[in-house]
Structure 1
Amino acid sequence: MQPLRLSGHPRCIADTALVLASGLSDFVRGVVRPVDGGLMLHRNSRSSAEG
């Protein structure tokens, strides 16, 4: 897996906040949602492959 290789913009954070504040996220409970373009996922997959 590769991160998106895009620079994040304040709009990305705002869009995520709007979705979470809307009815579209009624089923989302107690989860950390990183808005990092997949960087955290990439780091986790790389470290699990090494270990």
Structure 2
Amino acid sequence: MTYDAQRDAFVLPQPFGSWVLDDSGDWQPPVPQPHGDGWVWDDANRAWARAE
């Protein structure tokens, strides 16, 4: 965790370069995760992919 002085809070490390920190201090992907299990984020393609 790192301290974010602007938020006056600790935040988790950014999981992927394309994700952004929301107002609640949670990292959000640029594309919402599909419903169901078995999805992994593919940052190179900026898309969700089925886990193998």
Report TM bin, short chain.
Answer: under 0.3
Higher strand proportion (structure 1 or 2): 2
Higher helix proportion (structure 1 or 2): 1
With normalisation by structure 1, the TM-score equals: 0.23
